[in-house]
Amino acid sequence: MTRIAAVHGVLPPHRYAQSEITDALATVCLPSGGDGGADRTDRAVLDRLHRSAAVGTRHLALPLERYVELGGFGQANDLFIEHGLRLGEQAVRGALDRAGIAPHEVDLVISTSVTGIAAPSLEARLAGRIGLRPDVKRVPVFGLGCVAGAAGLARLHDYLEGHPGQVAVLLSVELCSLTLQRGDARAANLVAGALFGDGAGALVAVGRDHPRHGENSGYAGPTVSATRSRLYAGTERALGWDIGDTGFRIVLGAELPELVRLHVGEEVRSFLAEHDLKPPDVTGWVCHPGGPKVLDALQETLGLDAGALGPTRSSLARVGNLSSASVLHILSDILTPGPPPPGTPGLMLAMGPGFCSELVLLRW
């Protein structure tokens, strides 16, 4: 089994209350700033969406006033590379330091983002700065969206099962604020503006034959027992991007909570049943914070008690939805005061474009 040797989340320095972001987005997204006449209805909708998002504060890559000045997609993507490299370096260095593993020991890096494009990719640009070996294997991933944190861990586990003496790193960098569409008063864009924040995370894992895999390795990270990936037919327009001249235009269907009820709940139950488990047996839910309605649907369909998704709801309130980086931050939050009881099961769960889900069974 793969051992998670360390996980480390980082956030950009610019932190704002939800109300401050709401006022700024009214200027950026609504006609005439939403200040008068026919635009008052749009401002009322924006206010309602932001109040109901269950988000208290968020961290942004740029100072809030800079977003009004942003030009086209090219400028936003240049800023993604600049700030993404800074956050990505902090995340990887922090995770390696926690694991007690030197950069030259890393054999594989999987990097993921859905909020910017870079070629060379971020991990290639970081390799020399961090001290990765010239022969390190790299797998940059784009397009998995919010599911990529869980899917990245699952694919990292697949690799380490075949290379049990090696070290692998997962890096997620998501600067969601740089994808916001100016002058776009669609409900999907306003909901995205209410939920998503910026952040990065990195996870270090070792195979079963690595010296740091054992229980006496000095780190209380869980092991990965099993994984499952699933695509749900006919749901391609539920979540994703429409990419055009202005960059990433979000597709965010109102049917997402119902898709969770129809598909994801049963997926989780059948996956756990394969391992003689039921939802109440799980002692740590590392669940992606898709939004309050999605979390309510998941809690309802799985019959979870009010505290089961507490770490997820807390993360959503403190930093917003960080896309693929969220599950790494939530895992770090769960481990920080001390993990759940040893030997008990945990479950990492995320959903993304496709519409798809990814499940990772953990053992604390």
pLDDT band at 34 (very low <50, low <70, confident <90, very high): very low
Considering the chain, what is the average pLDDT of its residues? 93
Give the model's pLDDT for residue 37: 46
Q: Looking at the structure, do residues 246 and 322 belong to the same domain, yes or no?
A: yes
246 close to 75: Cβ distance less than 8 angstroms: no
SS (H, E, C) 289-308: CCCHHHHHHHHHHHCCCCCC
- Could you tell me the two tokens for 239? 């979540």
Give the model's pLDDT for residue 36: 46
Residues acting as catalytic residues: 146
Q: How many whole angstroms separate alpha carbon 176 and alpha carbon 241?
A: 12
What's the pLDDT tens digit per position in 198-223?
999 999 999 999 887 875 555 668 99
Q: Is the pLDDT of residue 35 over 70?
A: no
pLDDT band at 287 (very low <50, low <70, confident <90, very high): very high
Q: Is the pLDDT of residue 156 over 80?
A: yes
DSSP string, 38-74: GGHHHHHHHHHHHHTT---EEEESS-GGGGGG--SHH
E strands within 119-246?
137-141, 167-175, 198-206, 223-231, 239-244
Q: Looking at the structure, do residues 202 and 232 belong to the same domain, yes or no?
A: no
Average pLDDT value for residue range 254-278: 96
Q: Is the pLDDT of residue 263 over 70?
A: yes
Give the model's pLDDT for residue 39: 53
Q: Is the pLDDT of residue 192 over 50?
A: yes
Question: 173: domain range?
Answer: 2-213
What's the pLDDT tens digit per position in 45-63?
999 999 999 999 999 999 9
Average pLDDT value for residue range 57-71: 93
Give the model's pLDDT for residue 215: 55
Q: How many whole angstroms separate alpha carbon 159 and alpha carbon 168?
A: 8
Q: How many structural domains compose the chain?
A: 2
pTM here is 0.95
**Domain annotation covers residue 218:** no
Q: Looking at the structure, do residues 267 and 289 belong to the same domain, yes or no?
A: yes
Q: Return the sign of the alpha-carbon dihedral for residues 301, 306, 311, 313.
A: positive
SS3 202: strand
Tell me which DSSP letter residue 242 carries: E
CATH number, domain with residue 150: 3.40.47.10
